[in-house]
Amino acid sequence: MCPRHKRLHPLGKGCPLCQGAPRRKHPSKNTRKAGAYDYQWQKVRAEAIALQPWCLFCGKTTDLTGDHIVPLKEGGTNSLDNIRVLCRSCNTRRENDYRKGKRY
């Protein structure tokens, strides 16, 4: 039985409805951490974007996100002074560099 569609399917074969749908191989670590991105984070992020409606690195004004200067896993907080506004591409690039050991 498929837990997603609640239908029976032949033994040894996957659900025919699920076969075409792509699934994430690795779910985001942030979604598993309880309380990491709660209502408080959303409120502070929206406030930071309202105060500075452009990317700090490239200056774009679309697709803006909030970024922790000191990550939560290193003792950072969801306070306004620990958040900078980045566009999604700069935020992704910064995260990839951070994982490789570069910091900025």
pLDDT by residue for the chain (104 residues), tens only, comes to 566 666 666 665 667 666 655 555 555 555 555 556 778 888 999 999 999 999 999 999 999 999 988 888 888 888 999 999 999 999 888 876 666 666 65
Is 76 part of a structural domain of the chain? yes
In this structure, are residues 86 and 67 in contact, taking their beta carbons and an 8 Å threshold?
A: yes
Is 14 part of a structural domain of the chain? no
Is 4 part of a structural domain of the chain? no
Tell me the pTM. 0.60
What is the spatial distance between Cα 88 and Cα 86, in angstroms, rounded to a whole number? 6
Domain with 50 in it: 39-99
Q: How many distinct structural domains can be found in the chain?
A: 1
Closest-CA residue to 4 (of 29, 16, 75): 16
Is 31 part of a structural domain of the chain? no
Is 73 part of a structural domain of the chain? yes
